[in-house]
Amino acid sequence: MLRANMIKEAEEMCSKFTREGVNASANLNEMQCMWYEIECAKAYRRIANYGEALKKCHEIERVID
């Protein structure tokens, strides 16, 4: 879904596998789920939402450092 730029739908799908009552994107970031973060950043870049893409890149960098 992320490779098809369906970011909202992908987050809804991932929320089925995360804790209830917590934002799926925040939970995946907390679990350091890098494949999701990277694909999400790429999807935001493809749809020219550079601000969100940059936020995701900074989140990825925080995990690596």
Predicted confidence (pLDDT) per residue in 24-59, tens digit = 888 888 888 899 999 999 999 999 999 999 999 999
User: Which residue did the predictor score with more confidence, 39 or 15?
Assistant: 39
Q: What is the pLDDT of residue 60?
A: 92
Do 41 and 51 meet the contact criterion of CB atoms below 8 Å apart?
no
Q: What is the pLDDT of residue 45?
A: 98
Tokens of 33: 């789920």
Angle between helices 34-46 and 7-14 (to 10 degrees): 160
Whether residue 10 has pLDDT greater than 90: yes
Q: What is the pLDDT of residue 18?
A: 86
